[in-house]
């Protein structure tokens, strides 16, 4: 029936026209926000929340065809692998790894790269500044990282294509 690719700048418009990616964003943004809130309140992300969000995103993406499904699986794996080194050093929890996997399935490739770089970059800078301040000792070791990852995902959902186009244009000018 000719599914149109979603322009990332206009998710609501695509939701109204039946784009699987648009549905994915509209349906799963609340799951992402709930993950961030839950992590801030309880310093954990329930497996049921991450698994259900990932499965719904995979089901929505599967409607766009095999290629879309395979790209969403690849993006999820990229998200999962991106945080493994930090997990192995006990800097993030397993829930954060699974959350970035879900984000990868939702935003797809190459936007998982944008989402993870922004989320991890903002998180690292914010936490470094906070830990250096007098308030840093109040955290008690476990810091909710999901809000930063969700922030990166939302930026990638809204501005991902524009950021990617701008970056590619900048690289092309260098060469």
Under the banding of pLDDT at 50, 70 and 90, the label for residue 54 is very high
If you average pLDDT over residues 62-79, what whole number do you get?
Answer: 89
Kindly write down the DSSP assignment for every residue of 41-86, as one continuous string.
HHS---HHHHHHHHHHHHHHHHTT-HHHHHHHHHHHHHHHHHHHHH
Of 81, 80, 84, 78, the C-alpha closest to 109 is: 78
Under the banding of pLDDT at 50, 70 and 90, the label for residue 113 is very high
**Does position 7 have pLDDT exceeding 60, yes or no?**
no
The per-residue pLDDT for 155 is 92
Between residues 4 and 49, the one the model is more confident about: 49
Of 71, 56, 83, 81, the C-alpha closest to 149 is: 83
> Can you give the pTM of this predicted structure?
0.83
- Per-residue pLDDT of 156-171, as tens digits, reads 988 888 888 898 899 8
Measure the CA–CA gap between 148 and 78, rounded to whole angstroms.
Answer: 17
């Amino acid at each position: 029936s000719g599914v149109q690719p979603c322009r990332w700048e206009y998710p609501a418009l695509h939701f109204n026209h039946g784009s699987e990616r648009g549905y994915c964003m509209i349906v799963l943004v609340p799951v992402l926000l709930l993950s961030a809130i839950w992590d801030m309140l309880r310093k954990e992300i329930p497996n049921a929340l991450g698994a259900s969000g990932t499965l719904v995103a995979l089901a929505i993406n599967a409607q766009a065809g095999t290629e879309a499904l395979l790209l969403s699986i690849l993006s999820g794996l990229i998200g999962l692998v991106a945080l493994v080194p930090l997990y192995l050093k006990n800097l993030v929890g397993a829930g954060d790894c699974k959350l970035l996997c879900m984000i990868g399935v939702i935003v797809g490739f190459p936007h998982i790269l944008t989402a993870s770089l922004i989320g991890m970059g903002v998180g690292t800078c914010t936490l470094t500044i906070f830990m250096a301040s007098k308030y840093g000792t109040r955290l008690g070791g476990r810091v909710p990282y999901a809000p930063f990852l969700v922030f990166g995902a939302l930026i990638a959902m809204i501005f991902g294509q524009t950021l990617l186009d701008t970056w590619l244009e900048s690289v092309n000018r260098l060469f």
